[in-house]
Chains A and B, each alone.
Chain A
Amino acid sequence: MPFQVAWRVLSHQKGRTALAVGGVFVATLLIFVELGFFIAVPQGGMLTYDHMRFDLLVASNRYVFMGQSWQFPRAALAAAANVPGVAAASPVYLGDAKWQNPEGGPRIDVTAIGFDPPTRIFAVPDIDRQTPVLERADTMLVDSATRSIFGPLTTGRTVDLNGRSMTIGGEYRLGTGFLGLGVVLVDPANFFRIFARRSPQQINLGLVTLRPGADRDKVVAALRRALPPDVQVFTRAGLTRYEIAYWTTKTATGVIFGSGLIVAFIVGLMILYQTLATQIARQLPQFAMLKAIGYRNRTLDAIVLVEALLITLGAFLPGLGAALGLYFLIRRETLLPVTLTGVELSGVFAAAAAMAIGSALFSLARLRRADPADIF
């Protein structure tokens, strides 16, 4: 009975219902997108790591995130290489250079990653393939996700990095993540040409790979014993937790998308509440009549709840479709891992259900005002 009445009331007032469904659709879509970002953006910190070959990361104790990693002595990494179970320990150099197009224009910050090509720390075929290019003097590879303000990324074009003329030797696609608007790859020789004042004895990251069959936890413990106290060791999982915690709690990212999530939820809640409250106010005498002839409060509550759920469901499915489309666009543009996981889907569904139930509960106070004694 509640379902039938709810359905008929909604289908009777098509205009109002469409408005409500539209509003909740927008709210649901917003929740999808905000939640997508909320989950994906912190993972942006792992974007580059995700395409690197390593089992353990050695970094300075002051390590904040990849773009702010501080430095530690290369000797420490050499010591790590001698720890039993370690197959290789490869240094990574990171630095911010000023990019200047030869045609002029502003000097733009670009992140340079220096690594030794034979260490093959990137699991990116395009990078492997272009190893000979990297080894050329004053040559670099550019991430094709580098923004257009850096000018065309045409192979052979020469630009100015920290005052040194560098040739674009080719492109690869990895995504710049939180490293900035542009990223270039160079070999150590070229890296220290760009950053002439930096000492090759100070490195930013050390990528450790384990021998097959080595016990990771034991190696981690051994590394911690062997390495100086101003250096720390991350497992991949530990690094992921560290990065996500940093982007979620220490930066505005979590607040921005988290609050967006809450606002979207409240907007949906208010739209639903408004719809239900108007609906109840218009039909108060009918509801009072139902009470008078012997319907219990819970039956009337059920009518309102079913209305809320129907509207929400009607909005959720198209919201899901639109969100999938948007996710695709965001993924293509930012290379952020914005995907619909089971967790997200059930999260948004739970939020939508909470919206429906919450709004119904709020509007029940109005329903209680239906006094059967008033209708005679």
Chain B
Amino acid sequence: MAVGREKPRTPDLNPCELEAPLARAEGVNFFYGVGDARFQVLFDIALDIPPGQLVVMTGPSGSGKTTLLTLIGALRSLQQGRIDVLGHDLARLDPAALVRVRRHIGFIFQMHNLFDALSAYENVKMALQLAGRHSAAEMRARGVAMLDRLGLGHRIDHKPRALSGGQRQRVAIARALANRPKLVLADEPTAALDPDSTRNVVRLFKELTVEDGTAILMVTHDHRIIELADRLVHMVDGRIVSDVILNDALRICEFLKDVDAFKALTPNELTHVAERMRRRHYMPDEVVIHEGEAGHELFLISEGEVRIERGGREVARLGAGEFFGELALLSGNPRNANVVATQPLEAYVLGEADFQDALGASVSFREQLRRVYFLRH
């Protein structure tokens, strides 16, 4: 495990890359109590947390979010199902090994749990010492840098009693992040923070996901975080009821992977395309493409349906996962048909230049498009 090592920078993190998830839950059931008092709090949970994702978990209280967090954090023994964390199958680890796995996870608790007797820096040092390979000076430098980053540079040697609630919470966050863990588990980390600190903390989280590829699984209802989340997992009554990708590039990736024409693209090429696509919405009966106009864009339907009209006559209907508009781009001729939304339509749009780039970059992509082209004409 490479946690806490000198910042392993992977600057161009690839949202389409199928990297091994840092945490994965599969078929997880969990019960509290025994005998008649036994009740189930988690039902068949499956969740993948790949590197670089800020995953926000929401749901009413009692929906099992925290239980899931403690299971993934190796703080509770697994009952049914499988959880892999940082390459370890937790069910196979003895308690001592579980403790070692936990050292590579950054925990941010709802309660800051700082030691009254220790200064802000010393509290952070409690975590730094676990990494066990820093000199006192290095630890001090790291700890101070992290506290400074969280706006506590002037409070390093203060004890918790001399700090505000928000400052204490930020010390706790510094403690969790000081070792630059690959996986961060957080429970309402911004509950005690004022808006400025929250922005600062959220920026730091985001920075860690983008620069270090840190995966963050966070229970929060704070909209300032949800806005920046890559993914939103919603739990109700112990079940994951929705798992939505909020990050457009990620979303498009997920979508493109299932589109035949894009299947042959390498993850890099997919990322390249996905990052250049823009989401666009159309109302029912709105005309997406006018016959005879010059064509500059390729459309990919993510939701809804369109009908293709040539000479006032419907010739085809296309649905989610299908694309249109490639002909004019490939041939350079004007649009040869009207395309009209039949329902509220959400489409991903790729501009001409980016389209040509993608074509140039991938032989397979070109061939796929040609195949479709010949099928349609």
Contact B75 A373 (CB under 8 A): yes
Asked whether A294 lies within 8 Å of B130 as measured between CB atoms, the reply is yes
Q: Which of B95-103, B201-209, B318-326 has 4 or more CB atoms under 8 Å from chain A?
A: B95-103
> Given A1-B129, A8-B122, A293-B126 in contact, is the A375-B116 Cβ separation under 8 Å?
no
Residues of A within 8 A of B103 (CB): 293-294
Which A residues lie within 8 Å of B111 (CB)? 285, 375
A11 CA to B130 CA, complexed, in Å: 24
Tell me if A3 counts as interface (CB < 8 A to partner B).
no
Contact (Cβ within 8 A) A296 B109: no
Binds A, one of B39-47, B66-74, B144-152, B257-265: B66-74
User: A1-B129, A295-B130 in contact; A376/B117 too (CB < 8 A)?
Assistant: no
A12 near B116 (CB under 8 angstroms)? yes
Q: Which residue of A lies closest to B130 (CB)?
A: A294
A5-B107 CB under 8 A given contacts A292-B73, A294-B102, A376-B187:
no
A290 within 8 A of B: yes
Q: Considering only CB atoms, which chain A residue lies closest to B77 in the complex?
A: A373
Interface residues of B in 92-143 (CB under 8 A from A): 96, 99-100, 102-104, 107, 109-111, 113-118, 122, 126-127, 129-130
B117, B122, B126, B187 — most chain A CB neighbours (10 Å): B117
**Are A289 and B113 in contact (CB-based, < 8 A)?**
yes
Instruction: Say how far B257's CB is from chain A's closest CB, in angstroms.
Output: 34
**Distance (Å) between the CB of B189 and the closest chain A CB?**
11
Enumerate chain A residues within 8 angstroms of B76, measured Cβ to Cβ: 373
Is A283 part of the binding interface, using a Cβ–Cβ cutoff of 8 Å? yes
The digit string for A53-82, where 1 denotes a CB below 8 A from any CB of B, is 000000000000000000000000000000
Binary interface encoding of chain B residues 50-88 relative to chain A, with 1 for a CB under 8 A from any of its CBs, else 0: 000000000000000010011001011000000000000
Q: Which of B100, B109, B114 interacts with A294 by CB under 8 Å?
A: B100
Interface status of A318 (Cβ within 8 A of chain B):
no
Number of interface residues of B (CB under 8 A): 31
Q: Which residues of B contact A12 (CB under 8 A)?
A: 116-117, 159
Task: Determine whether the beta carbon of B113 is less than 8 Å from that of A288.
Answer: yes
Residue among A4, A289, A290, A296 with max Cβ neighbours from chain B (10 Å): A289
User: Nearest B residue to A291 by beta-carbon distance?
Assistant: B99
Distance A183 CA – B108 CA, assembled complex (angstroms): 79
B120 to chain A, nearest CB (A): 13
Q: Is B114 in contact with A286, judged by CB distance below 8 angstroms? A: yes
Residue A372 CB within 8 A of the other chain: yes
| Residues of chain A in range 1-39 having any CB-CB distance to chain B below 8 Å | 1, 4-5, 8-9, 11-13
Least Cβ–Cβ distance between A56 and chain B, in angstroms: 66
Of A1, A4, A9, A375, the residue contacting B109 (CB under 8 A) is A375
Contact of B75 with A372 in the complex, beta carbons under 8 Å: yes
For B96, B127, B159, which residue has the most chain A Cβ atoms within 10 angstroms?
B127
**Contact between chains at A292 and B115 (CB < 8 Å):** no
Q: Which of B75, B96, B129 contacts A292 (CB 8 A)?
A: B75
Separation of A289 and B102 alpha carbons in the complex (Å): 11
Q: How far is the CA of A1 from the CA of B130 in the complex (A)?
A: 10
**A292 and B117 within 8 A (CB):** no
Task: Give CA–CA (A286, B73) in the complex, Å.
Answer: 17
Q: Are B113 and A5 touching (Cβ within 8 A)? A: no
Q: How far is the CA of A376 from the CA of B117 in the complex (A)?
A: 22
Instruction: Identify the interface centre among B102, B109, B113: most chain A CB within 10 Å of its CB.
Output: B113
- Determine how close the nearest CB of chain B comes to the CB of A109; give it in whole angstroms: 62
**How distant is B195 from chain A, measured CB to nearest CB, in Å?**
25
Minimum CB distance partner of A7 in chain B: B117
Query: Could you say which residues of chain A place their CB within 8 Å of the CB of B176?
Result: 293
**A290 and B126 form a contact (CB under 8 A):** yes
- How far apart are the CA atoms of A376 and B109 in the complex, in Å? 5
Q: Which A residues from 103 to 140 make CB contacts under 8 A with B?
A: none
Residues of A within 8 A of B104 (CB): 294
Q: In the bound complex, do residue B116 and residue A293 qualify as a contact, i.e. CB atoms below 8 Å apart?
A: no
Q: How far is the CB of A34 from chain B (nearest CB, A)?
A: 35
Q: Specify which chain B residues have a CB less than 8 angstroms from the CB of A295 in the assembled complex.
A: 99, 126, 130
A286 to B160, CA, bound (A): 13
- Provide the residues of chain A in CB contact with B109, threshold 8 Å: 289, 292, 375-376
Q: What chain A residues lie within 8 Å of B113 (beta carbons)?
A: 285-286, 288-289, 375
The CA of A283 and the CA of B126, in the complex, are separated in Å by 15
Identify the closest chain B residue to A4 (Cβ).
B122
CB pair A292–B118 under 8 Å, yes or no, is no
Residues of chain B lying within 8 A (CB to CB) of residue A296? 96, 99
**Residue in A8, A9, A373 whose Cβ sees the most chain B Cβ within 10 Å:** A373
Given the interface pairs A1-B129, A8-B122, A376-B66, the reply to whether A292 lies near B116 with Cβ below 8 Å is no
Q: How far is the CA of A4 from the CA of B139 in the complex (A)?
A: 15
Contacts A/B (CB < 8 Å), 29 sampled: A1-B126, A5-B118, A8-B115, A8-B117, A11-B117, A12-B116, A13-B117, A283-B116, A286-B113, A289-B107, A289-B113, A291-B99, A292-B75, A293-B102, A293-B126, A293-B127, A294-B99, A294-B102, A294-B103, A294-B104, A294-B130, A295-B99, A295-B126, A296-B96, A375-B113, A376-B66, A376-B69, A376-B73, A376-B75
Known: A1-B129, A292-B73. 5 other contacts (CB 8 A): A4-B122, A12-B117, A288-B113, A373-B70, A376-B187
Sorted from nearest, which 6 A-B pairs have the closest CB atoms? A294-B103, A12-B117, A289-B113, A8-B117, A294-B102, A373-B76
